[in-house]
């Protein structure tokens, strides 16, 4: 009989509870014991270790659709990789985590996280040397390389689309443009997908340069006096500081275009998990359990077409655009971005959406 644990880390998103539920269900069928680590690495640092034995009543099937993580993702005030690195206590922190996992006597750990969590897991892989480490990618940013989707992305797109649908109604009533600033960090996939879904007249993403004057002229050329301008939070404007939506709003106001800014913020991380994310969660949970059965370690589940496969964490780390992490000194994180040949960019251009210079 195997003893496995599941841990969620990093930013929140919908779909985490679906993954937890499916991991528990699949493990129980295999006759395995399943433990949940509460609050991620915080739980491993706690004395006693903050864990709970899990069964199908822990996260009932009717609650698996809910946003957030039943296991929680940790406290901002606790020691974590970011603080340990900043304080020069990485070796000490790694030893605490390694000793805690050894005390739990696990055969495997399922780590559900984003590109930062996976990059740190690979760079500090000695922590997991005595067990099988299987990672499941989740992030609304969809900035993890080597997978066609990440858990939480589809629900975030749906949440953002519904939000903009309501804005369009008041936009029409007041003859106004709404500049909606999305999450996504320095990846524009969330803004691009939601922008296409809602029918935005302009979609601005970090990957594509744009000219504010061109944007203003484009909005003036639209044959109505209201609509949505979708702006990813990672967009920068040379010579300006502050939130990009507010900078663009000032430019539009100066040009005589009535507008308002809108910041959906954390509703993008919330909402009942949509069917696509539930199906993806089930696929990735099954893939992770199969990997554990096959004694695989240091791997990540990845969607390839309609199939779910495992890829080595070494390939994940090497495949992306490895850059210094702004939040974790001395650490590099691998990222994925919108590719120049992304089909949705061509869709946007064909529909007359302003996406930047040289569209």
Model confidence pLDDT, tens digit, residues 223-246: 999 999 999 999 998 877 789 999
Question: Does pLDDT of 12 surpass 80?
Answer: yes
Task: Tell me the mean pLDDT in the region 268-292.
Answer: 98
Apex 132 CA angle, 110 and 142, nearest 5: 40
Task: Tell me the mean pLDDT in the region 316-344.
Answer: 90
Question: Does pLDDT of 35 surpass 80?
Answer: yes
pLDDT at 358: 57
325: pLDDT confidence band, cut at 50, 70 and 90? confident
Residue with the bigger pLDDT between 187 and 84: it is 187
**What residues does CATH 3.40.50.460 cover in the chain?**
157-269+340-350
359: pLDDT confidence band, cut at 50, 70 and 90? low
Task: Tell me the mean pLDDT in the region 91-95.
Answer: 94
75: pLDDT confidence band, cut at 50, 70 and 90? confident
Residue with the bigger pLDDT between 82 and 157: it is 157
Task: Tell me the mean pLDDT in the region 76-104.
Answer: 90
**DSSP collapsed to 3 states, 304-339:** ECCEEEEEEHHHHHHHCEEEECCCCCCCEEEECCCC
Task: Tell me the mean pLDDT in the region 58-76.
Answer: 93
Tell me, yes or no, if 141 is annotated catalytic.
Answer: yes
pLDDT at 328: 80
- 3-152+273-319 adopts what CATH topology? Rossmann fold (3.40.50)
Burial 157-174 (b: 16+ CB within 10 A, else e): bbbbbbbbeebbeebeee
- The pLDDT > 90 percentage for the chain reads 89
Measured CA to CA in angstroms, residue 210 lies from 180, 194, 202, 215, 358 at distances of 17, 19, 11, 8, 8
* The dihedral sign for the CA sequence 127, 120, 82, 78: negative
Q: Is the peptide bond before 48 cis (omega within 30 degrees of 0)?
A: yes
**CATH number 3.40.50.460 is the correct assignment for the domain at 157-269+340-350:** yes
Catalytic residue chosen out of the listed positions 12, 39, 42, 141: 141
Question: Does pLDDT of 14 surpass 60?
Answer: yes
Helix (H) / strand (E) element for 343: namely helix 343-350
**What residues does CATH 3.40.50.450 cover in the chain?**
3-152+273-319
């Amino acid at each position: 009989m195997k003893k496995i644990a599941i841990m969620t880390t990093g930013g929140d998103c919908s779909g985490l509870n679906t993954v937890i539920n499916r991991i528990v269900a699949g493990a129980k069928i295999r006759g395995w014991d399943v433990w949940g680590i509460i609050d991620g690495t915080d739980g491993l640092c706690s004395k006693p270790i903050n864990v709970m034995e899990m069964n199908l009543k822990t996260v009932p099937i009717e609650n698996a659709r809910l946003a957030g993580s039943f296991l929680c993702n940790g406290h901002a005030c606790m020691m974590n990789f970011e603080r340990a690195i900043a304080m020069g206590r990485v070796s000490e922190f790694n030893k605490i985590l390694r000793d805690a996992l050894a005390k739990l006597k696990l055969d495997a750990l399922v780590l559900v996280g984003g590109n930062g969590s996976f990059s740190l897991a690979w760079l500090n892989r000695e922590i997991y040397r005595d067990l099988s480490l299987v990672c499941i990618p989740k992030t609304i940013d969809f900035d993890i390389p080597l997978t066609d989707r990440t858990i939480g992305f589809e629900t975030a797109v749906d949440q953002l689309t519904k939000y903009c649908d309501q804005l369009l109604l008041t936009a029409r009533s007041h003859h106004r443009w709404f500049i909606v600033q999305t999450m996504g960090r320095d990846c524009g996939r969330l803004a691009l997908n939601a922008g296409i879904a809602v029918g935005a007249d302009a979609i601005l993403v970090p990957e594509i340069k744009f000219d504010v004057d061109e944007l203003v002229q484009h909005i003036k050329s639209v044959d109505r006096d209201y609509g949505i301008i979708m702006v990813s939070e990672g967009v920068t404007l040379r010579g300006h500081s502050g939130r990009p939506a507010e900078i663009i709003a000032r430019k539009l106001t100066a040009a005589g275009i009535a507008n308002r800014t809108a910041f959906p913020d954390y509703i993008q991380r919330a909402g009942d998990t949509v069917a696509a994310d539930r199906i993806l969660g089930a696929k990735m949970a099954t893939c992770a359990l199969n990997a554990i059965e096959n004694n695989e370690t240091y791997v990540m589940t990845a969607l390839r077409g309609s199939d779910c496969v495992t890829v080595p964490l070494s390939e994940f780390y090497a495949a992306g655009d490895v850059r210094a992490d702004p939040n974790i000194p001395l650490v590099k994180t691998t990222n994925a971005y919108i590719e120049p040949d992304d089909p949705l960019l061509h869709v946007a251009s064909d529909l007359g959406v302003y996406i930047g210079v040289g569209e």
